[in-house]
Amino acid sequence: MLIIIIIATFISTFLGGLFALKFKDRLHLILGFSAGAVIGVAFFDLIPEAISLGSKLYDISTITAVVAGGFITYMILDRFVILHGHTHDEEDSSHSHKSHRGKLGAGSLSFHSFIDGAAIGLAFQVSASVGAIVSVAVLVHDFSDGINTVNMILKNKGERKEAFKWLFIDAIAPVAGVFSTFFFTLPDSALGILLAVFSGFFLYIGASDLLPESHHSHPTKWTTIMTVLGITVLFVAIRLANL
């Protein structure tokens, strides 16, 4: 069953990315949905899981502080660290900046997919039933992960070829995550803190990057509807997965 789940995570992520590539002309609507999906994953999946796992050693205020720390860390990386790639030409500098932002976002999403895979592997170390529940939750938003990864590249001036490359990395990441758990075990408290950090990352990506870009130069009505839809779909899907 674990092998089937590994294959399913790859396919789910890849199909999400192909969807984003095919409907690139409707990118603003997809970006709106992606913003909602990323924010939904943070609020309804990562943060509750971080609190559940980390509360054995840390209180809730400490875990939420780590979430804020993740948000601030990603903001600093986005606004300052990646600026080192700028050139003197304003247009080239802007393109270089956007390219770095796209890679940073796609890399973060891919590493999150790796953690998803590791979560599946560790859950199966507990029991088959726990592993199955975690796997359903991961598969639910792997499709959105594929969309989000492609969008991070395309909206930041990346080429289709580069988006496809990052899509493959994101699709293979959960597979690598599952296999990595054959060689280590991670305490629940440590995993909870790691999930809290990524919650902050995702809140920044959704609220400060994808969401503003989704309605830039486009009617706000439909992008707002798509954002609400993205949040709602993730809320319902994660609730159903946890039943």
The whole-number pLDDT of residue 71 equals 94
Q: What is the pLDDT of residue 25?
A: 63
The whole-number pLDDT of residue 141 equals 59
| Encoded tokens for 189 | 């408290």
**pLDDT at position 95:** 57
What are the residue ranges in the chain where pLDDT is below 70? 24-27, 80-99, 126-127, 129-130, 133-134, 136-137, 140-141, 144, 157, 209-210, 212-219, 241, 243
With vertex at residue 62, the alpha carbon angle to CA 81 and CA 71, rounded to the nearest 5 degrees, is 25
CB 117 within 8 A of CB 9: yes
Instruction: Map out the domains of the chain as residue ranges.
Output: 2-241
pLDDT digits (tens, 9 = 90+) for 24-82: 666 677 778 878 888 888 898 889 888 988 888 899 999 999 999 999 998 887 776 55
DSSP code per residue over the chain: -HHHHHHHHHHHHHHHHHHHHHTGGGHHHHHHHHHHHHHHHIIIIIHHHHHHHHTTTS-HHHHHHHHHHHHHHHHHHHHTGGGGG--SSHHHHHHHHHHHHHHHHHHHHHHHHHHHHHHHHHHHHH-HHHHHHHHHHHHHHHHHHHHHHHHHHHTTT--HHHHHHHHHHHHHHHHHHHHHTTS----HHHHHHHHHHHHHHHHHIIIIIIHHHHTTTS-HHHHHHHHHHHHHHHHHHHHHHT-
HSE toward the beta carbon, residue 202, CA cutoff 13 A: 30
Question: What is the distance between the alpha carbons of residues 26 and 94, in angstroms, rounded to a whole number?
Answer: 23
